Amino acid sequence: MKKKPSQQANILVVGAGFAGSVCARELADGGYKVQMIDRRSHMGGNAWDTHDEKGFLIHPYGPHIFHTNSRQVMAWLSRFTEWRFYEHKVLAHAKGEYFPIPINRTTLNQVFKKNLTEAEVPEFLESIREPRSPIKSSEDVVLNSVGPQLCDMFFRGYTQKQWGLDLSELSAGVAARIPVRTNDDDRYFADDYQFMPAKGYGAMFEKMLNHPNIELTLGQNFEPSQIDSAIRHTIYTGPIDAFFNYKFGKLPYRSLRFEHFHESNVAESENAQVAPVVNYPMDHAYTRITEFKQLTGQTKAGSSLVKEFPTSEGDPYYPIPRPENDALFQRYSEAAEALKDVSFVGRLAQYRYYNMDQVVAAALKKASNIKELLKAH
């Protein structure tokens, strides 16, 4: 028997990940009664974390590293967690060596057996790049920036695995997310705020949703028929095409399969691999391996890790950025805009390759708009 939303609820929120949880808390603080549902057995969406049987805090859905330049987003989330300072490092394994990613001066000197100074790097990049104009695809971005050798070492194979497409088939925005540095900065992100929730994302979500105006039901699927007259507004964070029963066709997504494993022969003060995340752009079926104790700062003997295998089947993770997919999304977006009592927010509902902080910012804006809308009616 399907549970109907509480008759006392003003708001129905579908999905208890970042988008839904931020909206729910904002509206609950505003005095609205919020009924939340999520098809999974836990809150937090893909960002949820938990302790495995060995006692390690792991991310079941792959590593989630928080970083932002938004003081507003950082301040809002800080209501629900203390933070552990953490600057993420990634190495790429290629041709038997480990190279810093994003590409920096160290990477260039290592690949090309040079001893470039920081001042010499721009001129060297100019000498190896392959000018492209206009810039239409991710291949254009990479070749225009770093040329064919680095493209083939670090980008082409990884992209083929991650997206099931060649660089030339992906929109330019995907590769544009990855910078190229002329100095030795080996941090993966350059944001002003780089932290991990001190007690984990799960604990942060629990505190966020611990409010007398929020009623959360887990393990429940959503159907539009669940929206009844007691609901003044619905916030939907799932795949937008599913909401409309795929009437224009399915939006393409990439999924992931995770292979979690444990290494027992690792001392308390040691790590199982040379970096928190190691990318494998040239070999293996997986794209990367993450070691969780390097993310969380746990000091325990042993280590829990995960391999990521991109797939075309499974839960939707990544909207595939191609012009024809954006065009299909626009048809769904127009249908969504026609629904005055339903708001769509989040990576799946907006078909956007959002980072976590971008989802939080979008949800805060959406919640503010909904409060204004409800006041006016």
Q: Where are the domains positioned within the chain?
A: 11-43+209-252+320-376, 56-70+78-89+187-198+253-319, 103-176
Look at residue 176 and tell me whether its pLDDT is greater than 80. Answer: no
Contact 100, 186 (CB under 8 A): yes
Nearest-5° Cα angle at 172, 170 to 178:
105
**pLDDT, position 1:** 33
Is residue 14 scored above 90 in pLDDT?
Answer: yes
Quickly tell me which residue has 């098809």 as its tokens: 39
DSSP one-letter string for 179-205: ---SS---BS---SEEEEETT-HHHHH
The label of the residue with tokens 């929120």 reads 13
Asked whether the beta carbons of 358 and 366 are under 8 A apart, the reply is no
Which amino acid is it at 324?
E
- Mean of pLDDT values over 136-165: 95
CB atoms within 10 A of CB 111: 19
| Dihedral sign, Cα of residue 346, residue 51, residue 260, residue 200 | positive
- Kindly give, in sequence order, each residue whose CB lies less than 8 Å from that of residue 163, ignoring residues fewer than 6 positions away: 169, 170, 174, 254, 310, 318, 320
Q: What is the pLDDT of residue 7?
A: 45
Question: What are the structure tokens assigned to 145, written together?
Answer: 């920036």
Q: Is the peptide bond before 212 cis (omega within 30 degrees of 0)?
A: no
Provide the pLDDT for residue 8. Answer: 59
pLDDT of residue 226: 74
Give CA separation, 27 vs 12, 151, 216, 227, in Å.
11, 46, 14, 18
Instruction: Kindly state the average pLDDT of the residues 351-369.
Output: 96
For residues 110-131, give the mean pLDDT. Answer: 97
Kindly tell me if the per-residue pLDDT of 4 is higher than 60.
no
| SS3 category, 260 | strand
CATH level 2 (architecture), domain 11-43+209-252+320-376: 3-Layer(aba) Sandwich (3.40)
Model pLDDT, residue 321:
85
Q: Which residue has the tokens 């769904």?
A: 332
Residue 2's pLDDT band (cuts 50, 70, 90): very low
Structure tokens at 103: 């590409």
Both tokens of 73, joined, read: 């987003």
Quick: pLDDT tens for 184-213: 999 999 999 999 999 999 999 999 999 999
Instruction: List the structure tokens of 372.
Output: 């204004």
pLDDT in tens, 238-287: 999 999 999 999 999 999 999 999 999 999 999 999 999 999 999 999 99
Q: Is the pLDDT of residue 342 over 50?
A: yes
Cα distance between residue 220 and residue 339, in whole Å: 23
The widest CA-to-CA distance across the chain, in whole angstroms, is 70
Q: What is the rounded average pLDDT for all residues in the chain? A: 94
Give residue 312's pLDDT: 94
Q: Residue 147: what residue type?
A: G
Share of the chain above pLDDT 90, in %: 90
- Check pLDDT > 80 for residue 9: no
The angle formed by the CA atoms of residues 82, 189 and 325, to the nearest 5 degrees, is: 105
Percentage of the chain beyond pLDDT 70 is: 98
Q: Does the structure show a pLDDT above 70 at 17?
A: yes
Helix (H, G, I), strand (E, B) or coil at 252: coil
For 42-51, the pLDDT digits (tens) are 999 999 999 9
- What are the strands of the beta sheet with 318-319, ordered from one edge? 97-101, 90-94, 277-279, 288-291, 303-311, 253-263, 318-319
